[in-house]
Amino acid sequence: MEAFFSQQGEKSFRASQMLKWIHQLGVIDYESMTNLGKNLRARLSENTTIGLPEIIHAQHSSDGTRKWLLRLADGNSIETVFIPEEDRGTLCISSQVGCSLNCTFCSTARQGYNRNLSAGEIIAQLWIANRELAAFGQSQRVITNVVLMGMGEPLLNFDNVISALHLMLEDHAYGLSKRRVTLSTAGLVPGIDRLREVCDVSLAVSLHAPDDELRDQLVPLNKKYPIRELMAACKRYVANQPRRKITFEYVMLSGINDTPRHANKLLRLLEHVPSKVNLIPFNHFPGSELRSSSGAVIDVFRDILIAGGLMTMTRKTRGDDIDAACGQLVGNFQDRTSRSHRMQKVVQGPRP
């Protein structure tokens, strides 16, 4: 933004003014930006646009969760979810139109993949949620946390995701702290290392299995970056930061990964990794033959992990009555790239 205004012959502080108008006050009409000169406002109106996705469907769950289906300029659609809790408000945003990773328990993966979202399309989800929640200009935050856990694998859209993350953290924009912004990955090891270098927000890893044999089936990316390499990358991510932990997400699948044997293997796997575990009851979607583990089975699994000294919680299912729960986001788009062909590009080849 500073470079842009310098090219216009303006002082660099115009950048912070513009960021505040757009991201803190929700103003996207140049004529309303009263501390910008009249001539500058006219040039901006003539030469630039501030574009937003269109809300084409909004749903409100009985538990307070809200979901928006957003139409992008090219006709594709994505989904964004807001989850209110007593002590926080969490926005789950998407980073791609669809997903190419083909994890077996995820409805988004069934829809295929179209393209990466731009940085603007990523941050626009936060902007729109603030507007819909009437949060702009409020002294107390409505959205306190952001998680990149919506549609797509964020680390496969690295540059655009990083640009959006910097806006989330920027004091002149949303001013969120690194610990309140979480990026979730299926385990793209080079991306984890790059993220640590440029924007070390909180990291969540979709693990879902305690060994390579099972994880190869559930998360095909594991064939490229097996668990041993993934754990090493996680240790590097939090190295020399004693208070930080990696969140490991573990979807509970009946008869597949939910036995005491799996729990004990998971304990051994994470023994030397600063970590906490979120157990996620599987959220069923049409066409899937998978079923969630029962509450009793999940409780036994959780208790084994806790008894072994591992911080563990069972994630409460939110928004499942509007298909807004974990793994249920699908959007509306044309699968432009064959998922199997694209997966070959990501996964193919010998393990490093």
Name 181's bridge partners: 146
Question: pLDDT: is 327 or 212 the higher one?
Answer: 212
What would the pLDDT profile of 145-192 be if each residue is shown by its tens digit? 999 999 999 999 999 999 999 999 999 999 999 999 999 999 999 999
What would the pLDDT profile of 223-268 be if each residue is shown by its tens digit? 999 999 999 999 999 998 988 999 999 999 999 999 999 999 999 9
Looking at 84-93, 235-244, 327-336, which range is the least confident one? 327-336
Q: Are 199 and 158 in contact (CB under 8 A)?
A: no
Q: Is the pLDDT of residue 307 over 90?
A: yes
Question: Which CATH code is given to the segment(s) 53-347?
Answer: 3.20.20.70
Q: Report the mean per-residue pLDDT for the chain.
A: 89
Distance from C-alpha of 115 to C-alpha of 208, rounded to nearest angstrom:
26
* Residue 339: per-residue pLDDT: 45
In the chain, % of residues over pLDDT 90: 77
Q: Do domains 1-50 and 53-347 have the same CATH topology?
A: no
Instruction: Tell me the C-alpha to C-alpha distance, in Å, between residue 268 and each of 213, 217, 243, 254, 260.
Output: 16, 21, 21, 22, 13
Listed by start position, the domains of the chain span 1-50, 53-347
Distance from C-alpha of 280 to C-alpha of 287, rounded to nearest angstrom:
20
Q: Is the pLDDT of residue 134 over 80?
A: yes
Active-site choice (2, 46, 79, 213) = 79
User: Structure tokens of 106?
Assistant: 């995820």
Any residues with CB less than 8 A from the CB of 53 and at least 6 apart, and which? Answer: 70, 71, 72, 73, 78, 121, 124, 125, 128
Q: Is the pLDDT of residue 128 over 50?
A: yes
Q: Is the pLDDT of residue 122 over 70?
A: yes
State yes or no: is 249 an active-site residue: no
Distance from C-alpha of 38 to C-alpha of 200, rounded to nearest angstrom:
40
Name 91's bridge partners: 82, 146
What value does the mean pLDDT take over residues 323-333? Answer: 47
* Residue 327: per-residue pLDDT: 43
* Residue 94: per-residue pLDDT: 95
Using the Cα atoms of residue 200, residue 77, residue 24 and residue 39 in order, give the sign of their dihedral. positive
Q: Is the pLDDT of residue 100 over 90?
A: no
Confidence at 323, pLDDT banded by 50, 70, 90 = low
State yes or no: is 46 an active-site residue: no
* Residue 139: per-residue pLDDT: 78
Q: Are 155 and 192 in contact (CB under 8 A)?
A: yes
Domain formed by 1-50, architecture: Orthogonal Bundle (1.10)
CB atoms within 10 A of CB 205: 24
Question: pLDDT: is 338 or 89 the higher one?
Answer: 89
In the chain, % of residues over pLDDT 70: 90
Q: Is the pLDDT of residue 326 over 60?
A: no
Looking at 145-149, 284-288, 320-324, which range is the least confident one? 320-324
b/e map 63-79, b = 16+ CB within 10 Å: bebbbbbbbbeeebbbb
* Residue 262: per-residue pLDDT: 98
HEC per residue, 40-107: HHHHHHHHCCCCCCEEEEEEECCCCCEEEEEECCCCCEEEEEEEECCCCEEEECCCEEECCCCCCCCH
* Residue 317: per-residue pLDDT: 72
DSSP class per residue in 208-270: --SSHHHHHHH-GGGGTS-HHHHHHHHHHHTTT-TT--EEEEEEEBTTTS-SHHHHHHHHHHT
Q: Are 219 and 186 in contact (CB under 8 A)?
A: yes
What would the pLDDT profile of 197-218 be if each residue is shown by its tens digit? 999 999 999 999 999 999 999 9
Name 66's bridge partners: 60, 82
* Residue 350: per-residue pLDDT: 46
Q: Are 313 and 204 in contact (CB under 8 A)?
A: no
